[in-house]
Amino acid sequence: MKLKNANWLIKKKEGLYCIPGDFYIDPLYPVEKALITHAHTDHARPNNHFILGTKETIEIMKIRYAKSYCNNYQVVNYNSPLTINNIVITFIPAGHILGSSQILIEYNGYKFLISGDYKRVEDKTCKGYQNKKCDTFVTEATFGLPIFSHPSDKDEIKKLLESVNKNRQKPHLIGVYALGKCQRILSLLRDAGYDDTIYLHGALVKITDYYISQGIDIGKVKNTSDLNLSELKNQIILCPPSAIHDKWSRKFKNPIKGIVSGWMNIRQRIKQKNIQLPLIISDHADWNDILLTTKENNPDKVLVTHGREEALVFQLNKLGFEAKALNLLGYEDEYE
């Protein structure tokens, strides 16, 4: 029999909590048992006692947190159901970054799908998004406003390459988030036919090396840490967004500065960042993709979390879903 009221999955201050399974999903504070959707630091936090996640998620957490990544862990494979206390847990590819998952939780025939962060557009650096029918869909809302309609990533990469071709004497400093965005940009550049060595700020190297170790093809990259930066001219250098205006960036001669982010479609945001080359590439679903996903998953209820919930709740209700905001605090926009 299907339970009408799924009151066994609730919100606590640590995050979403499953009562019969006694576990949290992406808890904000250390807990006994945690299911981790993906390794971005606002979702995967250190010092949990026991974690459950994909191999890649756990290995990246280990790289980032060293000893404090957890006490114990269990690796799960995509689409391989696992039962704990009569609860069936399935990790489903979310297409967000390497190892990222949505988590399907079934109890007494009722299905909760927790999206984590997800995107539907193709990304060769991770397994592609898959949809899933469910009764309650918990969706992210990072880009939950109709002003967000991500352009084609290939066109955005073209913009970068055109600038590189036009400004032969100038290095291109491009701000990317270290996990996911960096490697996706590398892969997109290779697909666009860019064969030169691409240079990496030291902070991007560890994770990129991990991607390479997992067989992801990103071509030739080089760590800038031991190079004379002023000699880099017609090159692409990827760095964390915070390094774009940091002391480190002074060593480059007349650089063109860019940032890759889904926020870069808003002029005053670009202006604030003080850059010349905004590239609108996001690892999150945009407004239309969130709506499309919800329709495909066809839930009775939708819970909207982290991001711009209000507009999305409004629109989903209008489309006939019973939607409300989950109001979880602590997940950040910065990782985009």
Partner 1 sequence: MSMNNLSILLDKLLLNSSKKIKIRLLNEYFEQANSNDRGWTLSIITNSIKKKNIHLNDLKNLIKNKIPSELFELSYDYVGDIAETISLLWPKNKSPNLNLKLSDFMNNIFFIDDKKTVLEKLENIFNSSTSSQIYTIIKIITGGLRVGVSNGLVRESLVAFGNRSSIEIEEVWHGFTYPFFDFFEWLLGASLPKGLKKEDLFHSFMLAKSIDNKIFLEDPRDFVAEYKWDGIRAQMIVSSKFKLFSRNSEDITDSFPDLKFNSNDNYIIDGELVIKKENEILPFNILQKRIRRKKITNKILNELPAHFIAYDILYFKGKKCTNMNLNKRKDLLSKFISKINKDNITFSPSINFSKWKELEFLMASTLNNHIEGLMIKRIVTKYEKGRVANSWFKWKKEPYTIDFVLMYAQRGHGKRSSFYSDFTFGCWVDNAFDKLVPIGKAYSGFSNEELNQLDKWVRNNTLERFGPVRSLKSTLVVEISFDNINHSDRHKSGVALRFPRFSRIRWDKPVNEVCILKDIKSLIN
Please report, as ranges, the residues that interact with partner 1 according to CB under 8 A.
Answer: 145-149, 245-247, 249-250, 265-268, 270-271, 274-278, 308, 310-311, 314-315, 318
| Residue 244 CB, nearest approach to partner 1 (Å) | 9
Q: How far is CA 255 from CA 161, 177, 251, 278, 289, in A?
A: 15, 19, 9, 14, 35
| Residue 182 CB, nearest approach to partner 1 (Å) | 21
In the bound state with partner 1, the residue whose beta carbon lies nearer, of 57 and 265, is 265
The stretches of the chain forming alpha helices (DSSP H) are 55-65, 153-166, 181-191, 205-213, 267-273, 287-297, 309-318
| Residue 324 CB, nearest approach to partner 1 (Å) | 15
- CA–CA separation, 70 and 73 (whole Å): 7
| Residue 141 CB, nearest approach to partner 1 (Å) | 12
In the bound state with partner 1, the residue whose beta carbon lies nearer, of 93 and 241, is 241
| Residue 270 CB, nearest approach to partner 1 (Å) | 7
| Residue 149 CB, nearest approach to partner 1 (Å) | 6
Instruction: Report the candidate in 196, 165, 198 with the shortest Cα–Cα distance to residue 184.
Output: 198
Instruction: Report the candidate in 143, 124, 79, 123 with the shortest Cα–Cα distance to residue 293.
Output: 143
In the bound state with partner 1, the residue whose beta carbon lies nearer, of 121 and 145, is 145
R_g of the chain computed on alpha carbons:
20
Q: How buried is residue 80: exposed, middle or buried, by Cβ count under 10 Å (0-12/13-18/19+)?
A: exposed
In the bound state with partner 1, the residue whose beta carbon lies nearer, of 35 and 232, is 232
Q: Which long-range contacts (CB under 8 A, 24 or more apart) does 164-170 make?
A: 164/194, 164/234, 164/236, 167/234, 167/256, 168/233, 168/234, 169/233, 169/234, 169/254, 170/233, 170/234, 170/253, 170/254, 170/255, 170/256
In the bound state with partner 1, the residue whose beta carbon lies nearer, of 10 and 147, is 147
CA 15 to chain centre: 18
| Residue 204 CB, nearest approach to partner 1 (Å) | 19
| Residue 321 CB, nearest approach to partner 1 (Å) | 16
- CA–CA separation, 284 and 262 (whole Å): 8
In the bound state with partner 1, the residue whose beta carbon lies nearer, of 235 and 315, is 315
* List of residues 6+ apart from 99 with CB closer than 8 A: 38, 39, 53, 54, 55, 56, 57, 59, 60, 126
In the bound state with partner 1, the residue whose beta carbon lies nearer, of 145 and 205, is 145
In the bound state with partner 1, the residue whose beta carbon lies nearer, of 296 and 310, is 310
Say which DSSP state 163 is in.
Answer: H
